Each structure stands twice: as C-alpha cells, then as structure tokens.
Amino acid sequence: MAAARQVLERSTVLLLTASKACLRHPDCDTARENRDTVFLQMRRSMDVIHFVVKEGVIPELAGTTSNGEPRRNHGAHRRSRAHHYNHTGTHRAEEMEPCLTVCNAIKKFEDHVEMTRITMVSPAYRSLLTSALDSVVERSQDFTDSAYTSHEHRERIILLCDRLKMELHQLLRVGMQLEQINQVSPSEEMEAAIHETLRAARDLKLQ
C-alpha cells in the first residue's frame, strides 16, 4: 500500500507535466501516450489501495481473533443466528453479487467518461470507453438473464443499456469531430454529451 501511495504521489506531478505537454503539442502521439501511461499507472495504484482497504481479507483468518486464536461460539443465540444465515444469508449474497459487479462496472465506466475532459477522445481512449461499455452491458445480463427479474424490469434494463450505447456513440462522435480540428479542450457540445452519458449510466445504476 505504501508503494502504491508513493507511485500516486510521483505520478500526480508527472500527470500534470504530461497533460501540459499534450496540450502544447496536440499532434504529438508520444505526448498523448505518456499522458495515458501515467494515468493508467495512477489507476492501477488506486486499484491496489482499494483492494488492500476493502477486499484484502484472507479467508483463513476470517474465523480467528486478532491474536490468531479461533473464535469461540458463545451461546445458543449465536448458533441460531449462524444457522439462520446459512439458510438465508447465502441466498442474499448470491443476489447481491451481480448487483455489486454491475455497479463496479458502471463506476469504472463513469470514471472513464469523466476523464475525457482531460484526455479528450483519442483513438486509444475510444477503445477504452467501448470496452468499458461492453463490460457494463455484459454485467447487466446477470439481471436480464435472472429468473428473479420481472419482465418489466428486464425491459427497462435493456432500454437503458441501449440508451447508454446511444449517448456514448454521441460522445465519441463529438470527440472525433474535435480531434479533426485539433481542439484540446472540451466544447459545450462535448460537455453536454458527457453529461448525458453520465446521466444514462446513473439511471442504469439505479435499476
């Protein structure tokens, strides 16, 4: 975690320098690649920190105390709660897993869309956005294919996925137009496209 934090601290300055160089030399592919590389390093470091803080739990230690001793069962009440969880908690976890997965995919997609204000819509970033959208649609199928999802809910999810595709297509179209005229900052039309794409992603997440 300390190493990841150190990378973040160093990369912050590098990202600023790389972004300035990219703005001064918009036609230079090397400048764009340097900026994107620094950004990816920062994202990877943030992923490491996220894993350590929220997900870095060793299953073998989950049933032990801080001293490494096995946890003891204190009374029939806890046994009853454990028995109840075995019957109901597992089903709830199975229901929550697709939700967490699709929410994570949408969050990453939203982060990529937000970054277009800095990176603009370069060919490499267009591919990244498209892949992120494909991931969202794929994760959403966990709900549309579920027997517990009603027909109306399934239809809403499909419609919202189609809307998200349409809004991203509009964002990519505007970004390509700005790239053709070598504009290095978002226009009002691009800001509007970003806003609509994020709103479509938020509406899908609320489902």
pTM, two decimals, is 0.54
d(CA 21, CA 124): 18
Tens digit of pLDDT for each residue in 80-109?
A: 444 443 444 444 444 444 444 788 889 999
The string of pLDDT tens digits covering residues 129-150 is 999 999 999 988 888 887 778 8
For residue 110, give Cα distances in angstroms to 25, 61, 105.
27, 35, 9
Q: Which of 18-32, 111-125, 152-166 has the highest mean pLDDT?
A: 152-166
Least confident of 58-62, 63-67, 172-176: 58-62
Torsion of CA 177, 109, 123, 179, to 10 degrees: 20
